[in-house]
């Protein structure tokens, strides 16, 4: 507090990430008919923090701040007292993966070394809480796009000081997180120049319309000096799982030198 006046002079925000209980199991085995390794995994996430806009960020609760309530009351807009912030809803998720890995030769592209086809999997999640309770969860605070940016998340358009008491959160301004979401991922790489040059490509495609395409080229000059060039294309819709980064394609170059 300012000793010469009223009101706070410092704002402190604390962010706490609690533990989430997970129950699950996995199994991997070699399949003769598929000539590769089959991987399976499933987990049950208990009470994971989730996002429902009108619960996490209820804009109407901001009007309950005492100074603002006093101003609105003087304008004939009484606001009932109550919580000024939001709360965090929790949900139970089932997540699973069904994967397949193998090595194979394709002589026209690489006559001397095999290709590694791995981390190929179908990954899905089921929001059990939404299916059983009907609550409408959204995608981690991602707002829907507009021609100039993203939606505000509140009914601010057309509001004036005389109608500010009608302020509220608009859940539909946020990207929906469907009860069942899934994506497909795969990685393919091989080596040239006696293992010195390793090109690789990865694909992650969300079945709701997102995609991520990392392309990597690593050259091992020696055991202590590596050169790496990578391009990551991201696009599609603002949905699960990579919609946050749909307009953030990346190009990077890195040199790694090991001193030991």
DSSP letters for 37-49: EEEEEEEEEEEEE
CA distance 157 to 166: 11
pLDDT at position 3: 61
Question: Could you tell me the two tokens for 105?
Answer: 């030769």
CA distance 138 to 244: 13
Question: Could you tell me the two tokens for 34?
Answer: 């598929």
What would the 3-class secondary structure string for 145-182 be?
ECCCCECCCECCCCCCCCCHHHCCECHHHEEECCCEEE
CA distance 216 to 218: 7
Of the candidates 69, 53, 228, which has an alpha carbon nearest to the alpha carbon of residue 142?
53
N-term to C-term CA, the chain: 53
CA distance 111 to 191: 11
CA distance 218 to 230: 8
pLDDT at position 85: 85
65 Cα distance to chain centroid: 32
pLDDT at position 37: 96
Which residue ranges in the chain fall short of pLDDT 50?
A: 1
For 191-260, CATH gives: 3.30.1300
Domain ranges of the chain: 191-260
DSSP tag of 235: E
Q: Long-range contacts made by residues 61-69, C-beta under 8 angstroms, separation at least 24?
A: 61/85, 61/86, 62/167, 63/164, 63/165, 63/167
DSSP tag of 132: H
């Amino acid at each position: 507090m300012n000793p010469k006046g009223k009101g706070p002079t410092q704002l402190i925000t604390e962010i706490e990430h609690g533990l989430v209980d997970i129950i699950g199991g996995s199994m991997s085995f070699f399949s003769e008919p598929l000539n590769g390794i089959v991987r399976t995994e499933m987990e049950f996430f208990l009470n994971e923090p989730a996002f429902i806009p009108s619960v996490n960020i209820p804009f109407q609760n901001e009007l309950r701040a005492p100074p603002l309530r006093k101003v609105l009351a003087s304008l004939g807009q009484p606001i009932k007292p109550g919580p000024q912030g939001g709360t965090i809803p929790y949900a139970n998720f089932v997540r699973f993966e069904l994967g397949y890995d193998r090595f194979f030769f394709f002589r026209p592209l690489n006559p001397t070394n095999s290709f590694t086809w791995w981390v190929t999997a179908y990954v899905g999640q089921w929001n059990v809480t939404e299916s059983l309770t009907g609550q409408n969860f959204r995608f981690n605070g991602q707002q829907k796009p507009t021609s100039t940016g993203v939606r505000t998340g509140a009914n601010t358009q057309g509001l004036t000081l005389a109608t500010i008491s009608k302020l509220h959160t608009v859940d539909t301004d946020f990207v929906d997180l469907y009860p069942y979401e899934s994506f497909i991922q795969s990685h393919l790489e091989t080596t040239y120049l006696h293992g010195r040059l390793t090109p690789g490509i990865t694909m992650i495609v969300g079945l709701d319309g997102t995609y991520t395409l990392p392309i990597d080229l690593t050259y091992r000059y020696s055991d202590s000096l590596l050169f790496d060039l990578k391009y990551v294309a991201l696009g599609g819709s603002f949905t699960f799982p990579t919609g946050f980064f749909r307009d953030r394609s990346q190009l990077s170059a890195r040199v790694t030198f090991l001193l030991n």
